[in-house]
Amino acid sequence: MNTQKEIQEIFADYKMYIAGKGCSREALLEKHNNHPLLLSMLASPENMIEGGLEDAVSEMSDIYLKYSGRKLRDEEWEAILEAANNISVKVDDNKWCRDTLVELLDVLEDGEKEPDTLEESQLSLPYVNYEEQKWDIQTEMHLARQGNVLAYGTVTIDNCIKFPVQLRKYKDEKSGEEKSFLSYPRRLVKGQWEDTVHPERELHKKITASAGNAIKKELAKDMYLPEVDVVSVTPVTPKNIAGAKAVICGLATVKISGLTIHGITIKQSEKGLFINMPQYQNDTGYKDIVYGTSKAIQQKMEKAILSVYKDKIKTATPLKTVNKVL
């Protein structure tokens, strides 16, 4: 369990270290018992832009001071991930920065486990034997950011009952603070909305916690994207067909996370170049066979492929014609 004092001291000592005024690397590690956050900080910050190291550490320290030592709301986690992404962008997605940010997120999540002061209402709750209240809860959540809906997904209980949920936001009339709650399925009956799913109190708490963890994972998965290795890009001669929204002008193969993915198409439309992942066709149209799980990784693959494609078409002649349109 990390303490706030310990983490604040790590940031303070590291700032002194990079300024050349603190103790040695070995002394720091001994003082802080080889803490993972410090180990990440002490790794060589290769290719760091000038002044980037000091600024990044200061901003990370600010994030910790603002959000540490309490149970964080989902919107706070979203703000943390946004701030972390901003830091990473400022230093050109430097590996040292990414690794240190991942450790910082672990520290913040660990800090949520520290007991907060119990409110009076919590002290009056009846005793519950959690050993007898066991449910297998599987939750899948996706970010929405549409209107009052922050996220949506599905919950499966004991691998036999499945239903949709939404994380919705509202403004507290008394405090004026923006808060959120987990919304269960409802239906309109004779002009009145009624609940169709109503979990027991302890089950509701566990579902809410499971949904919160799923949302955190959804927010965090874009923090450390794998490298995209463009194995090959082959420009082709587009065949213009009347009524086509886009035409194929290239084929690509990439390697990512140990997988080699063939059959990626590069297409040209009125709006410009884009890629399509490998697809198959059925009665309803084209469906992706393999695809990225987030917009960020999809954009990273597209950027890498199109960069190679643009370089190739400057010097290369298309090798063949593909008679296929979107």
Does 90 reside within a domain? yes
Residue 145 has a pLDDT of 67
C-alpha 282 chain-centroid distance: 32
**Residues 65, 92 within the same domain:** yes
Which of 111, 142, 157 is at the close of a domain? 111
Q: Which residue would you say has higher pLDDT here, 216 or 318?
A: 216
Q: Express as a percent the part of the chain with pLDDT over 70.
A: 87
Question: In this structure, are residues 288 and 212 in contact, taking their beta carbons and an 8 Å threshold?
Answer: no
Residue 130 has a pLDDT of 43
Q: Kindly indicate the confidence band of residue 120, based on its pLDDT and cuts at 50, 70 and 90.
A: very low
C-alpha 242 chain-centroid distance: 41
What domain range includes position 27? 4-111
Q: Averaged over 72-96, what is the pLDDT?
A: 83
Which of 175, 193, 220 is at the close of a domain? 220
Which of 220, 241, 273 is at the close of a domain? 220
**Residues 54, 89 within the same domain:** yes
Does 75 reside within a domain? yes
Residue 121 has a pLDDT of 43
**Residues 191, 272 within the same domain:** no
How far apart, in whole angstroms, are the C-alpha atoms of residue 84 and residue 72? 16
Residue 161 has a pLDDT of 95
**Residues 100, 10 within the same domain:** yes
Q: What is the CATH number of the domain that holds 284?
A: 3.30.1120.40
Whose CA is closest to 79, among 146, 172, 9, 178? 178
**Residues 278, 191 within the same domain:** no
Residue 133 has a pLDDT of 53
Supply the angle between the helices 74-90 and 95-111 in degrees, to the nearest 10: 160
How far apart, in whole angstroms, are the C-alpha atoms of residue 41 and residue 29? 11
Q: What is the number of structural domains in the chain? A: 3
Q: Kindly indicate the confidence band of residue 114, based on its pLDDT and cuts at 50, 70 and 90.
A: very low
Does 116 reside within a domain? no
The pair of structure tokens assigned to 8 is 């604040």
Checking if the pLDDT of 150 tops 90, the result is no
